[in-house]
Amino acid sequence: MVKGLFDFRIKKEDDQTATRLGQLTTPHGTVNTPMFVPVATKGTVKTLTSQELREMGAEILIVNAFHMHLLPGAEVIRELGGLHSFMNWNRPLITDNGGFQATNIYMFHKIDETGIFFRSPHDGQIHQITPEIAIQYQNDLGADIIMALDECPWYSTDYQYFKESLSRTLKWAEESKRLHQNANQVLFGIIQGGTFKDLRQKSVNEMVKKDFMGYGLGGISVGEPDDLIHEITRFTANLLPREKVRYLMGIGSPAIIFEAVEAGIDLFDSVFPTRSGRHGTLFTTYGPINIRNAKYRLDSSPIDTECSCFTCQTYSRAYITHLFKHQEMLGMRLSALHNVHFILNLVKNIREAVQKGIFLNYKEEFFQNYSLNK
């Protein structure tokens, strides 16, 4: 950690759970935790502008360095002033290392101890990501927080494969730590090990020795059932140092958010709110609705009467149903805006409940309401 540029402080801890409030300071501003991190995969949170995200309370975004490296190229973005300038986003940024995307079934070629080989979706050529390459393109992009290269296997019970995979991730973390020299960024390590607790324990033990400022919890919510997601999240978070940032990668539904926060997670990201919105599933105080359903065709009420987002203050369910029926892009955009606002507001309410010492009461009240649409 570079003194003065980066800092993480715990401001309050819940008496009944592992929930905590914190502040993460970066060169581009402060993030109040716990915080949801909207995913700007290719430099944009799909259909939303930077101004809209700022207005709805987003304090930090994550960009997929892999996609930006492929197109337009990290060196191009560096020449244009870096990712913050390129995106018109003056608040903190995280970049992912690309390991998860490179092992996508449609792009994956092979993996060995040196890195991940993948087929480019743009030209079909075989490329490789190594720790050195991942650090270089993340340095060029200039995000505040960057991630050490890891392998993120899908859920399975193949213990031997996960053991070998973890060995690669630990080796690459060591190399990433050695290669990263940019004082304007901090490097996070990523904990792997699947659903095997002894491998998770080993991953934490070895990663903590490397003294990263924060730790991503990877390989969670990649096909395993919800009860295992909750169990492995709680188990892993409990092993990590209290004073370090805990970042659960790839979760964004209300149910898992509450479980994550209760386990002591500080940051979490997911495309789930935007993707759900673009497909017509909208979050409301009383549970999710499918706005494509014919029953909303004459419904003049907003998506959520309790919501203050632009969509709810301006348009009716009937209008958004109409947009979806005609496959109008505005319907997807308004729905994504609402869902991201809903999740950001939910996390804000969670922080306020923790501050007041009523987190568990708020959780119970939320889910009593959230089940009413079922």
Query: Do 299 and 337 belong to one domain?
Result: yes
The domain in which residue 324 lies consists of 272-374
Query: Do 204 and 124 belong to one domain?
Result: yes
The answer to the question of residue 200 being in a domain is: yes
Query: Do 144 and 289 belong to one domain?
Result: no
Q: Where are the alpha helices (DSSP H) in the chain?
A: 50-55, 65-70, 74-79, 83-87, 99-102, 131-141, 159-179, 197-209, 226-239, 254-262, 272-278, 310-314, 317-325, 329-356, 359-370
The answer to the question of residue 136 being in a domain is: yes
pLDDT of residue 101: 84
Report residue 259 as tokens: 């479980």
Q: Which residue has the tokens 């193949």?
A: 158
pLDDT of residue 104: 83
Asked if 96 is an active-site residue, the reply is yes
Pairing between strand 108-112 and 93-96? Answer: unpaired
pLDDT of residue 374: 63
Query: Do 300 and 224 belong to one domain?
Result: no
Query: Do 100 and 242 belong to one domain?
Result: yes
* Active-site residue, from 96, 140, 150, 304: 96
Q: How remote is the C-alpha of 210 from its chain's centroid?
A: 23
* Active-site residue, from 144, 150, 269, 304: 269
The domain boundary, picked from 237, 270, 303, lies at: 270
Query: Do 316 and 200 belong to one domain?
Result: no
Q: How far apart are CA 217 and CA 214, in angstroms?
A: 10
Q: How far apart are CA 371 and CA 285, in angstroms?
A: 9
Low-confidence ranges of the chain (pLDDT < 70): 1-4, 374
The domain boundary, picked from 250, 270, 290, lies at: 270
Amino acid at 189: G
The dihedral built from the CA positions of residue 238, 29, 181 and 148, taken in this order, carries a sign that is positive
Cβ(53)–Cβ(39) under 8 Å? no
Query: Do 351 and 218 belong to one domain?
Result: no
Query: Do 345 and 198 belong to one domain?
Result: no
The answer to the question of residue 369 being in a domain is: yes
- Give the number of other CB atoms < 10 A from CB of residue 72: 14
The domain boundary, picked from 270, 287, 311, lies at: 270
The answer to the question of residue 96 being in a domain is: yes
Q: How far apart are CA 127 and CA 211, in angstroms?
A: 31
Query: Do 40 and 122 belong to one domain?
Result: yes
- Give the number of other CB atoms < 10 A from CB of residue 247: 26
pLDDT of residue 186: 98
The answer to the question of residue 2 being in a domain is: no
DSSP string, 168-217: HHHHHHHHHHHH---TT-EEEEEE--TT-HHHHHHHHHHHHHTT-SEEEE
Can you give the CATH number for the domain in which 174 is found?
3.20.20.105
pLDDT of residue 3: 47
The answer to the question of residue 319 being in a domain is: yes
Asked if 123 is an active-site residue, the reply is no
The answer to the question of residue 303 being in a domain is: yes
Specify the number of domains making up the chain.
Answer: 2
